[in-house]
Structure 1
Amino acid sequence: MSTTKRAATWLALTGLIGAASLSSTVTAAAAAELPVYEVRGSGLSTEQAAALQRAFGLKDLQRDDTGAVAFADESTYLKVPGLDQGAGRADEDGLETQQTALDVEAIKQLRAITTDDATKRAVETLRGAGLLPTNAFAAARHTTLELVDVNGRPFHTAPIDTAVSFAFNLDGIPLEGPGAKLRIAFDGQGAVSGLTHSTRDLAKVGTIPVLDLTQGRERCAKQFGGAAKVTDVSYVYDAPALSERITKLEPSLRCAGVTPDGSAAQSLTVPAAVDGSLPDPGPQQPPRTESALSPQWTTRIDVGSEGTGACSGLPWTHLNIGAFNGQFSSRGIPVQFSWLNHNALERDFKDPVFPGGWDHLYADDVDMTYWQGHGSPTGFSFSGCSASTDSFLSNNDARWGNRDVEWMSLFTCSILQQTSGGLNWAQRWGKAFRGLHQINSFDTVSMHSAVHGGRFGNYLLRTPFLWWNKPMKVRDAWAQASIDTQPPSVVWATMGPIGNAWIANFNDYFWTKGVVGPDTLPTVGYWRLSGTS
């Protein structure tokens, strides 16, 4: 029996969470009406936040003006043991670097509490504080660090923490989104290393007519617009961030699909109401012109972004990319390029060693590139949007970091899936590391988001205030942005190379926000950190 199933069974048997909540989906083929919920309260009060802090014995707890609560222990949150190895060679931009080696012996000694123990602690503590939602279902999983050799053969896997993520439902229908988040991570000694709490109090106030799932499939197909084939439709309540001060929740449809090139479609939501309308796809960029195709590489810190939106059936890409861009431009960091829809080209990510490759002008000409669109374990898709040089960026066409890029951040599906086609994540993507420090992406299908990019950028760049709000490491910022915006079923992941003497870039911050390692080739192997949202 899996650890997740054991934890669920334990909860049902003890009555801490009702057995009815173990079923989180509606399986009926049709529904005439579904409930509407009114927002009666949002977030935790000051008193509730204080009670939560006392219950878990936390030294501090951050509560924002929406009532969302967060905690991360700097000394233990997603900590990977490392050894300072002194100054490294300067970056190609002339920036100083600091070498850090994986402390292999310390990693071998890492231990974690069991998933059953973590689940019990989380549930009982929340219940004792009067803060256990009645519509929550807990499941636990270890966050893991994997080390493999240069050929992708496993060397060691260690637990980093044990995270308990709560899934929510409303009368059997999943409630998902940034406004339905409760996650608690325990370190190896059982102390809380990270906590996220962002929920609303909801009350049923009536019903509305909705499409049945057959009709819902038609609406999903219209949203995808031929860019993806619908494979599954289900009901869901979409919970936006608490900062969107909504007054009610209506049911939506979760649309899953696959693109013509076999990539998993990023799952998205559309209204389920009979009179509902599809999301506004936003403005279109004017066409790219040849005058834009010139190298911009200088000794500056900069970023770039690309994404497929309306042309691939994804309505919020322009908002997500815009939020990412805004975090950098508002702090004076240039956004060298930002191509959307038909302007997003496969060749921008392809190395010039391959015919038509332009990554030296774009994806590999900045310090960080952020991408949003459909993807798969072997690449990401431009299908329905562009085909220059083709409509799929294959892992075999990626050679990143031999010019400039340190961090390739791919908000797409399944890039770092554990295994696919008989090859693991390192065997598929290892050859892309030609000076690249990290690929940040997902092990599973990801859910379309309008806010992930902004959260990621803020965690990278934020300004400290007293003892909190400090910038996060790149891989921690990716993990936390994913935890904030994705349901518990989504597994985020980051991988990087291991060089001579176990030098690795696992503790990189963005430039000027903390230490950054030197460009490192994978002469020893690769590392991957992954965990549940």
Structure 2
Amino acid sequence: MSTTTRRAGTWLALTGLMGAAAITGSAATATAAAAAELPVYAVRSTGLTQAQAAALQRAFGLKNVQLAEDGSVAFADESTYLRVPGLDLGAGKPDEEGAETVQTALDVESLKRLRALPVEDATKRALESLRGAGLLPANATPTAGQTTFEVVDANQKAVVTAPLDTAVSFAFTLDGVPLEGPGAKLRVAFDGQGAVAGLTHATRDLVKVGSVPVLSLDQGRERCAKVFGQSVRPTGVSYVYEAPPLAEKVEELEPGLRCDGVNSDGAAVQSVVVGAAVDARLPEPGPVDPPREEGAFTPQWTWRIDVGSEGTGPCSGLPWTANNLSTFNNRFTAAGVPVQFSWVNHNAWERDFKDPVFPGGQDHLYADDVDMTYWQGHGSPNGFSFAGCSSNTDTFLSKDEARWGNKDVEWMSLFTCSILQGSAGGQSWAARWGQAFRGLHQINSFDTVSYHSAVHGGKFANYLVRTPFLWWNKPMKVRDAWAQASIDTQPASVRWATMGAIGGGGLANFDDYFWNKGAVGPDTLPTHGWWRISGMS
């Protein structure tokens, strides 16, 4: 948008925009009449300087803090970050690729003894340390919560719920309107002794430079409906500023509309942000891939280490899915890991995730024929949706049709909403998804609704396969990489989660790395129960 369309005059901070962060649903009628104006913010600086990073390190008593090229900090103490007590049981049965495995058992008694810093103490420490370093933004509000590790037995009876850390995550606003995204992240996680186990700092210094006419919320609902398409019904719209990753060298931030909605089955979908300016353009759908051939199968490469990806994009109201899958694919390709398949939009099929025991199921050719499958699309506690995009064999992959790991897949990574929600429809996460574990090591997903992202897949892949440099940049465990990628890209209100199976003797794959990046456990059936880790972003 050219600067000539912006107005430096009075913007309507008090005419219908007071408390804009809470304007959704029926409250939208209060601001529906004429289009208002919202400020435009120029970027004065991006990220931290080396001196500020050093101040952050001193403030929290850290040994090392590495400042990334984009000015962000993502610190994780390898010895304490999301640490789960375990027992080394020695070498396990080789994987189907012939790779060596290491058996690890949960140390349940040690889990029961874990204690966490009270949220009040964690919040106070975070605030005092950031103020002392001069790095507490004036527009930041803290929220604290604990990361938990749950164990249930084979009958879904609770064995233990233990706190792993206490995290303080900050929400940002610009004159009362939320500022959200990878470029507006500040989070500090404390271990049980009060030491910092994880620290994320990615912010910009912004200054108001004018304003721009924006749609009313009623008009915004119409724009959201256009983006969502026929398969999603808008349920709420609110003003928001979207902060892209610091690596994106933007000069200004303009107001957006956060679109919330529900799928045809009534499940909440990923929130999507579009421009709020009157003349803002809708996201471009991008090129359309040629139709997938019904009888064409991917080559089966069970003996090699590889990954695959699928997702529904604009046809399901998710404009950035192709971009996100590309970041995932490209990072693995750069690391020398083949991408066996990558299907998007109309070429993403439900049968690719469905076990052959069910009519039409072909997961043995796709999702269960690689070591890791990454999916992005709409979901619910009971499965994920292909509505609006394809119906091969139908439009919804039910939890009851998932039988993963009986071919190859170790880690099913589902960037979708509420798959691992604590309880839904009277069933726990373990009761709903426990039967999917037929050799599968982990399901990585979310406990809550998630926000659409164009970069999550690449961040997740990078944390998995990155190459160490001196004492930093080491690969992360699979569950830690999922947690950190979600922390990097999601607001504090979003809870990420990972679950896995527990076999005889407490054998569990909670400490897996990706292949050739650290120890990996053997395929384990859930004869003795399941575990789940969940935390706030």
User: What TM-score do the two structures reach when normalised by structure 1?
Assistant: 0.95
Deviations 1:175-195 (A, max 9, x none): 000000000000000000000
Pair 1:417-2:421 in alignment: yes
Give the match's secondary structure for 1:445. coil
Contact 2:21-2:240 at 8 Å conserved across structures: no
Deviations 1:170-215 (A, max 9, x none): 1111000000000000000000000000000111111100000000
- Superposition deviation, residue 73 in structure 1: 0.5
Give the match's secondary structure for 2:31. coil
Give the match's secondary structure for 1:161. strand
- Superposition deviation, residue 295 in structure 1: 4.5
Deviations 1:388-438 (A, max 9, x none): 111000000000000000000000000000100000100000000000000
Contact 1:263-1:380 at 8 Å conserved across structures: no
Pair 1:512-2:516 in alignment: yes
The unaligned stretches of length 5 or more in structure 2 are 1-17
- Superposition deviation, residue 482 in structure 1: 0.2
Aligned match of 2:461: 457
Match of 2:78 among 74, 80, 105: 74
Aligned match of 2:477: 473
The unaligned stretches of length 5 or more in structure 1 are 1-20
- Superposition deviation, residue 25 in structure 1: 3.7
Contact 1:263-1:381 at 8 Å conserved across structures: no
Q: Which structure 1 residue ranges, 4+ long, deviate > 6 Å from structure 2?
A: none
User: What TM-score do the two structures reach when normalised by structure 2?
Assistant: 0.94
State how far apart, in whole Å, the 2-side matches of 1:24 and 1:32 are.
15
Pair 1:323-2:327 in alignment: yes
Contact 1:261-1:381 at 8 Å conserved across structures: no
Aligned match of 2:31: 29
Taking the TM superposition and a 5 Å limit, the aligned residue runs for 1:132-171 are 132-171=136-175
Taking the TM superposition and a 5 Å limit, the aligned residue runs for 1:342-357 are 342-357=346-361
- Higher deviation after alignment, 27-36 or 187-196: 27-36
Over 3 Å counting, the alpha-carbon distance change for 1:433 and 1:123 in structure 2 is same
Contact 2:147-2:166 at 8 Å conserved across structures: yes
State how far apart, in whole Å, the 1-side matches of 2:228 and 2:206 are.
31
Contact 2:151-2:159 at 8 Å conserved across structures: yes
- Higher deviation after alignment, 58-67 or 472-481: 58-67
Letter in 2 for 1:29: T
Aligned match of 2:284: 280
Pair 1:225-2:229 in alignment: yes
Contact 1:98-1:516 at 8 Å conserved across structures: yes
State how far apart, in whole Å, the 1-side matches of 2:82 and 2:194 are.
14
- Higher deviation after alignment, 283-292 or 381-390: 283-292
Pair 1:184-2:209 in alignment: no
State how far apart, in whole Å, the 2-side matches of 1:169 and 1:478 are.
26
Give the match's secondary structure for 1:454. helix
Contact 2:21-2:239 at 8 Å conserved across structures: no
- Superposition deviation, residue 298 in structure 1: 3.2
Letter in 1 for 2:489: T
Pair 1:386-2:379 in alignment: no
Match of 1:433 among 434, 437, 448: 437
- Superposition deviation, residue 502 in structure 1: 0.2
State how far apart, in whole Å, the 2-side matches of 1:81 and 1:281 are.
46
Pair 1:244-2:244 in alignment: no
Contact 2:256-2:275 at 8 Å conserved across structures: yes
Letter in 2 for 1:167: A
Aligned match of 2:266: 262
Contact 1:493-1:529 at 8 Å conserved across structures: yes
